[in-house]
Chain A
Amino acid sequence: MELSEYVQKGFQMLADPGSFDSNAFTLLLRAAFQSLLDAQADEAVLDHPDLKHIDPVVLKHCHAAAATYILEAGKQRADKSTLSTYLEDCKFDSERIELFCTEYQNNRNSLEILLGSIGRSFPHITDVSWHLEYQIKTNQLDKMYRPAYLVTLNVENTDSRSHPEISFSCNMEQLQDLVGKLKDASKSLERATQL
């Protein structure tokens, strides 16, 4: 994992009991995770009375350094030994290393879910609705008397957060074709998971 000097400096400050006592350290660490994982978090995350005595510039620096490191570790799926090694290099004492690793482990799942959801992909189908109608006539044609399906796929776009819908009509044979093909896909999926 390659980290910038900025991050390293921030961590070195964080390691110093003179700048951050035990309590402040824990609070800052939690604040860093919260900023990343809590959708409602904002600047107020650093507004804790026990952090007031620390220079705001230092506070922001360390907070940013911690957040950057956490993201990088999450991205690379870092294990405990990788974390420990880096923190040791930054002169963290064993108590703080333990604390960091515990916090990281507790938040790891959420972090990985968050990171995994970033990125472009095709519009994602989330649901399907259908209705079945019996067509009787149109203004151009009488006595149609045939069943028809209207299928609507609910789709989600990862980036734009838009929820377009894809609707189409089909007759019975076409729907059977569609279902047949989707069943083939799911059987294939089942087989693949058994390998």
Chain B
Amino acid sequence: MLLDLSEEHKEHLAFLPQVDSAVVAEFGRIAVEFLRRGSNPKIYEGAARKLSVSSDTVQHGVEGLIHLLTESSKLMISELDFQDSIFVLGFSEELNKLLLQLYLDNRKEIRTILSELAPDLPSYHSLEWRLDVQLASRSLRQQMKPSVTIKLHLNQNGDHNTQVLQTDPATLLHLVQQLEQALEEMKTNHCRRVVRNIK
């Protein structure tokens, strides 16, 4: 699958051959850093001064790179497809090689970052448990009521969330049984076939 680069995108990237490869490599590093942490406009100004161009030009160049990298990572295009896609830009072989390397080096991390943008449900982090026996309460003395207290740690959007819950022994066994069945499902023929064939 080839990338479809818009005219505007191509224009922005056209800045890259005008600087030497060390600068392009630096832009690449900035691009990935911006993906990790968010953009920092001051960097554009510093670079613009050093290169004697407008900061807009630098910004477009870096953003062009960011877009190139994210689109390629999102679609997980092959090396060959990447090379063919940027071929239309008419860059030197050296620049093409640099861009390819930039893609290959960073795509795993970029995909991880992109996966964090997905609609987010709280996800499981860990679980602590404790066994208790209730002996008495204000309304009833001389009890022997066993229970399991559970502290469930969940993550959502980077926030750590804790829930304290309780259950009785019978329900605990039921939970274990149900969730074991859930795990077993992945091993069934049906699921195996789906995993094998949808790739």
Contact = CB atoms under 8 A, between A and B. Distances in A.
Interface of A: 74-77, 112, 115-116, 118-119, 121-130, 132, 134, 136, 138, 140-145, 147, 149-151, 153, 155, 166-170, 172, 174-179, 181-186, 188-189, 192-193
Interface stretch (B38-46, B89-97, B122-130): B122-130
B88 interface: no
B93 to A, nearest CB: 29
B22 to A, nearest CB: 31
Interface stretch (B26-34, B59-67, B79-87, B144-152): B144-152
Grouping DSSP codes into helix (H, G, I), strand (E, B) and loop, the B interface class, with mixed when no group exceeds half, is mixed
Interface string B172-199: 1111101110110110000100110011
Interface centre among A112, A150, A174, A182 (most CB of B within 10 A): A182
Contacts of B175: 125, 128, 182
A132 B165 contact: no
Contacts of B127: 177-178, 181-182
Interface of B: 74-76, 111, 114-115, 117-119, 121-124, 126-129, 131, 137-143, 145-150, 152, 154, 163-169, 171-176, 178-180, 182-183, 185-186, 191, 194-195, 198-199
Contact of B124 (A75, A141, A143, A151): A151
A169 B127 CA distance: 14
Interface centre among B118, B163, B179 (most CB of A within 10 A): B179
A149 B143 CA distance: 38
A37 B190 CA distance: 51
A136 B137 CA distance: 52
Contacts of B148: 185, 189
22 contacts: A119-B138, A119-B139, A123-B165, A123-B166, A124-B166, A138-B118, A145-B199, A149-B182, A151-B179, A167-B121, A168-B124, A175-B182, A175-B183, A177-B124, A177-B127, A178-B179, A179-B180, A181-B129, A182-B129, A182-B172, A182-B175, A185-B129
Nearest to A135: B118
Contacts of B180: 179
A26 to B, nearest CB: 27
B183 A172 contact: yes
Contacts of B172: 182, 185-186, 189
B165 A116 contact: no
Contacts of B147: 121
B169 to A, nearest CB: 5
Contacts of A167: 121-122
A129 B128 CA distance: 20
B195 A147 contact: yes
A77 B186 contact: no
